[in-house]
Amino acid sequence: MTIETSNRGRGCEIRWLGRIPYREAWELQEDLAAKRLRGEIADTLLLLEHPPTLTLGRGADSKHILADSRRLQELGVEVVETNRGGDVTYHGPGQLVGYPILNLNEPPHQPDLHRYLRGLEEALIAALRYWAIDASRFPGYTGVWTAMDTAAPAKIAAIGIRTSRWITQHGFAINVCTDLSHFNLIVPCGISDYGVTSIQRIIGQDLGVRDAVPIVAASFLKTFDLDTAISDNDYPGEPVDTRCFESNRN
């Protein structure tokens, strides 16, 4: 195994997987997390999108799924119970999902879940500035919020994580050009008082998930003080080139 980075020891392999089923991505995370724990791979960020899927975290209330099984079947929506934290959320086409596989016990990280969660939020908030979207944290709630196109704050990115022996799994989902009507199938993250929005809705321009990949990847690297790793491991997907956005790192 070889890993090349501009700052050896702080490398992160970033891969775009395209659209893959939720369970397949979950199995991949489990495999990579085991390898990361053994030191066989560098920190890794998987970027992808899912077919329509509802996922329930460990603390989810099944009553927060508002559609019955027949309606979900008609729409081709799969329901998956997961081991991440949080309530019920929606994944689907037009949403960029990120699964970081990091060892929080190794520098530049710290074994601090609160710090890690705030880092994920900051990475997404910074990425949204590329589209001149003013986003922020919302007191009392996890995730990233904006009120640019709504009277009250609306969630533009959700976060739900799991760690085992300080290796992270699951992660974030940012609405790029998502069909927001699918969120009507659930009470998103168990929050009924506030809605959801997307980048495309706010900027009023056509946008694809792939367009957001290098921007979010570069922001993630900057926030977590990482550099792109290049390895000879048999990683799935294709490497993400963030060089066009590296000028903002310093």
**DSSP letter string over the chain?**
--EE-SSTT-EEEEEEEEE--HHHHHHHHHHHHHHHHTTSS-EEEEEEE-SSEEEE-TT--GGGB-S-HHHHHHHT-EEEE-SSSSSEEEE-TTEEEEEEE-BTTSTT--S-HHHHHHHHHHHHHHHHGGGT---EEETTEEEEEE-SSSSS-EEEEEEEEEEETTEEEEEEEEESS--GGGGGGB-GGG--SS-B--HHHHHTS---HHHHHHHHHHHHHHHTT-EE-EE-S--SSEE---GGGGGGG-
Angle at which helices 209-223 and 113-128 pack, to 10 degrees? 130
What is the spatial distance between Cα 156 and Cα 189, in angstroms, rounded to a whole number?
12
Q: What is the CATH number of the domain that holds 192?
A: 3.30.930.10
pLDDT for res 228: 86
Reported pTM? 0.91
Residue 121 lies in a domain: yes
Residue 97 lies in a domain: yes
Residue 2 lies in a domain: no
Residue 136 lies in a domain: yes
Residue 112 lies in a domain: yes
pLDDT for res 250: 44
Based on the residue annotation, tell me whether 189 is a catalytic residue of this protein.
yes
Residue 1 lies in a domain: no
Q: State how many domains the chain has.
A: 1
Q: For the purposes of burial, counting CB atoms within 10 Å of the CB of 181, is it exposed (0-12), middle (13-18) or buried (19 or more)?
A: exposed
pLDDT for res 2: 30
Please list the ranges in the chain whose pLDDT falls under 70: 1-9, 230-232, 244-250
Instruction: Select which of 12, 177, 189, 244 is catalytic.
Output: 189
In this predicted model, what pLDDT tens digit does every residue of 93-123 receive, in sequence order?
999 999 999 999 999 999 999 999 999 999 9
Amino acid at 201: R
pLDDT for res 3: 31
Amino acid at 193: D
Q: For residue 102, what are its two tokens? A: 């990091």
Q: What beta strand segments (E) does 105-187 contain?
A: 136-138, 141-146, 154-164, 167-175
pLDDT for res 197: 96
Range of the domain at 200: 7-249
Contact yes or no for 187/212 (Cβ under 8 A): no
In this predicted model, what pLDDT tens digit does every residue of 33-55 receive, in sequence order?
999 999 999 999 999 999 999 99
